Structure 1
Amino acid sequence: MPITPGNAPRTPDVQVGPIDLVARVDDALAVQALAFGLSEEEIGVRHHIVLRHLMYPGCRSFGATTPEGRLVGFVYGLPNDRAHWWSTVVEPYLRRQDANGWLDDVFVITELHVHPSFQAQGIGRELITTITDGVSQPRSILSAIDVESPARRLYRSLGYRDLARQVHFPSAPRPYAVMGAPLPLPHRPSPAPATD
């Protein structure tokens, strides 16, 4: 089988499990800075945003750690509330696509990042399937930069489909796509179709 993001062999000693993201917020943002290319100023802004999100009811966080305790990936999310900032930004785009209902009874993947040295090993897939396995909502929604990327390919392999594209968040330099998938997500990637 060809190695693609999400189906490469995972580093065996990396463990995925619940983490206290309040205590590990600096470690998580260091991973996000490397994976997503954040400046020091952006890290400072996101620090406050993450801590605020963690206070919302139903917020969950999981991390991927080495045996030494090094955080090499993390995910957090929460049940959507139409009053949350993210929801108010994406709602007009979803409404134009007749997908506005995706903002109700849905679990939002707020952030998912894996350290570049640990990408393409299945860690992102394990993080997102683990966090969504324990939620009561029947579907999940997220936003990702609207370019073809390993992240978008991973999300598609999990059943996410584009709900709206060219979504512009204030102060974000690039447009995003909003993607949604029914739950539960598949834990293993679908086999590649046979070719002649």
Structure 2
Amino acid sequence: MEEVAVRAIDLASRVHEVLAVQAVAFGLSNDEVAIRTQVVLRHAAYPGVRALGAFPPGGELVGFTYGMPNSREHWWSSVIEPYLVRAGNDEWLDDAFGVTELHVRPDFQGRGLGRALITRLTDGVPQHRSILSAVEGPSRARRLYHSLGYVDLAHSVRFLSAPTLYVVMGAPLPLRGPRPAFPGDTTAG
């Protein structure tokens, strides 16, 4: 198996690379990539944002994750809050680190990169829990999140820009389970 290094990245300067990975992993159209470019650039300027990338020896980005301390003023929080309130879980919006995106190119999936990226991203943050949203229904991503201690907090969440339904998930920090070792592991940045 090819060695892959996991290391901190500057999200703004790598916006086109991360969106190229997300487009392949998540099936985004060119129009969706253009919209998400602006969103990622806005997120990159938020206080406390952390971003990691996965790089094989050739140096091309094959996976990434980023997140930030959650704020009830963020757009995402304003969308999920009513769903969490209905489920009796709105306290998860506070003292939480939000995992905004986590994507690995399909040809690099199944190697522990997703687990390494999300655990490195959340390790050492001052918040006591993590929240994220994932496409509702069975998936490799949802199995990973459950194995790390995430539980479903709200179902059938609708984002206006997305045709599919989502689930909001949360886990206490630190995440449970093994931390795969990858060369170049760093979380500073």
Given the two structures, how large is their TM-score scaled by the length of structure 2? 0.93
Distance in 2 of aligned mates of 1:61 and 1:67: 20
Return the match for 1:117 from 94, 107, 119: 107
Pairwise CA distance, 1:186 = 2.4
Q: Is the 8 A contact 1:125 1:187 kept in 2?
A: no
1:162–1:177 Cα contact (<8 Å) kept? yes
CA distance in structure 2 between the aligned counterparts of 1:111 and 1:41, rounded to whole angstroms = 18
Contact 1:129 1:187 in 2 (8 A): no
- In the alignment, which residue of structure 1 is the partner of 2:156? 166
Larger radius of gyration: 1
Separation (CA, whole Å) in 1 of partners of 2:177 and 2:33: 31
Equivalent of 2:133 in 139, 143, 149 = 143
Q: Deviations over 1:76-119 (max 9, x none)?
A: 00000101000000000000011000000100000000000000
Moved runs in structure 1, 4+ residues, more than 6 A? Answer: none
Instruction: Report the Cα offset of residue 66 of structure 1.
Output: 1.1
Deviations, residues 36-83 of structure 1 (Å, cap 9, x unaligned): 000000000000000100101000000000122110000000000101
- Does residue 86 of structure 2 align to residue 96 of structure 1? yes
Tell me if structure 2 keeps the 8 A contact 1:75–1:127.
yes
3-state SS, counterpart of residue 62 of structure 1: strand
Give, in whole Å, the separation in 1 of the partners of 2:177 and 2:120: 9
The separation in 1 between residues aligned to 2:65 and 2:80, in whole angstroms, is 20
Gaps of 5+ in 1: 1-10, 190-196
Among residues 31, 41, 51, which one is paired with 1:61 in the alignment? 51
SS at match of 2:11: coil
Q: Secondary structure at the match of 1:70?
A: coil
The yes-or-no answer on 1:188 pairing with 2:178 is yes
Helix, strand or coil at the partner of 2:95: coil
Unaligned runs of 5+ in 2: 180-189
| Cα distance in 1 between the residues matched to 2:62 and 2:11 | 13
Q: Name the SS of the counterpart of 1:68 in structure 2.
A: coil
- Match of residue 23, structure 1, among 13, 24, 46: 13
Residues 1:176 and 2:166 aligned together = yes
Q: 1:126, 1:187 within 8 Å by CA — same for their partners in 2? A: no
Tell me, what secondary structure is at the counterpart of 1:164? strand
Query: Structure 1 residue 72 and structure 2 residue 62: aligned?
Result: yes
Alignment size in residue pairs = 179
User: In the alignment, what sits opposite 1:192?
Assistant: none
Q: Who is 1:3 aligned against?
A: none
Question: Structure 1 residue 144: deviation in Å?
Answer: 0.2
SS at match of 2:62: strand
> For the residues of structure 1 that align with 2:116 and 2:53, how far apart are their CA atoms?
10
Give 1:12 deviation, angstroms: 4.7
Q: CA RMSD in A?
A: 1.0
Percentage identity across paired residues of the two chains: 60
